[in-house]
Amino acid sequence: MAELNDYNRKEQPNWCPGCGDFSIIAGIKKSLVELEIQSHNVVLVSGVGCFAKLPYWVKSNGFVGLHGRSLPVAQGIKLANPKLNVIAFGGDGDGYGEGGNHFIHACRRNVDITYIVHNNGVFGLTTGQYSPTSEKGRKSKSSPLGSFEKAINPLSLAIAAGATFVARAYAGNLKEMVEIIKKAVQHKGFAFVDVIQPCVSFNHSYSYYNDKICYLGEDYDSFNRLNAMEKAFEEEKFALGVFYEEKVKLK
Ligand SMILES: Cc1ncc(C[n+]2csc(CCOP(=O)(O)OP(=O)(O)O)c2C)c(N)n1
Ligand SMILES: [Mg+2]
């Protein structure tokens, strides 16, 4: 039996009021409790950014490392002790920028860990510079004329790199996010979840995303890789759900 209290700490997060990270931390704890995973068997690994403080406020094992480097640490922990449930965290800057190379190779290496990226489309901790998932033309402190670069599409990147579980969740829909995180944790192999996370201080808030969210739906076949790739390229709306999964026989 696992209870929410096993994961709760007395200390409260110092994220900005309304930050999507509050929903993600709640979703992680809820998912682990519902999966009846004991907190001493969990390791949460992160890098640098607002998102990266998440392990401070969960009563389990944690490792906060260098910018963009949660994946190599998490994979090492899993290889050293395969009985542990290892969840790595990234930010859109941390995971798709500084740590982009690790991401690609973690997808094809397929070590049995979960990777959750808090995608708020901005460098939050450093107060609002544009990030790899900021839309082209975005004006920010580091792009006063609007960014010249096309945004990264994390889902198609992961599918192309060989990831065996690729999903998108939204911090504004805790219930759906918990279902997706639970599937990711249960997946055998590298499971990647891009979580759309409103940054209410430096980027879009909930109302912006609420209008762009849609769902893959019950008829969607998540085992079809080409179909998943096509879906991932639909960028007008943010579809939520498991885009791609593959049954894996781990050695
Ligand atoms: C190697 C390195 N480069 C740059 C920084 C400065 N830095 C700290 S946090 C951050 C941005 C984090 O953005 P993101 O990963 O999107 O996380 P968020 O704060 O938005 O949750 C940067 C660039 C750093 N700490 N280390
Ligand atoms: Mg960010």
Give the span between the Cα atoms of 91 and 216, in whole angstroms: 24
Query: For the packed helices 174-186 and 21-34, what is the interaxial angle rounded to 10 degrees?
Result: 50
Residue 187 has pLDDT above 80, yes or no: yes
Residue 10 has pLDDT above 80, yes or no: yes
Domains of the chain: 16-245 (3.40.50.970)
Any atom of ligand 1 within 6 Å of the Cβ of 51: yes
pLDDT tens, position by position, 192-227: 999 999 999 999 999 999 999 999 989 999 999 999
Output the pTM of the full model.
0.98
- Tell me the CA distances in angstroms from 45 to 70, 88, 111, one per residue in order: 6, 5, 15
Among 101, 117, 126, residue to substitute to test ligand 1 (most atoms within 8 Å of Cβ): 126
pLDDT at site 120: 98
- Tell me the CA distances in angstroms from 102 to 41, 122, 175, 220, one per residue in order: 24, 20, 30, 30
Closest-CA residue, ligand 1 atom 20, reads: 124
- 157-176 mean pLDDT: 98
pLDDT at site 205: 93
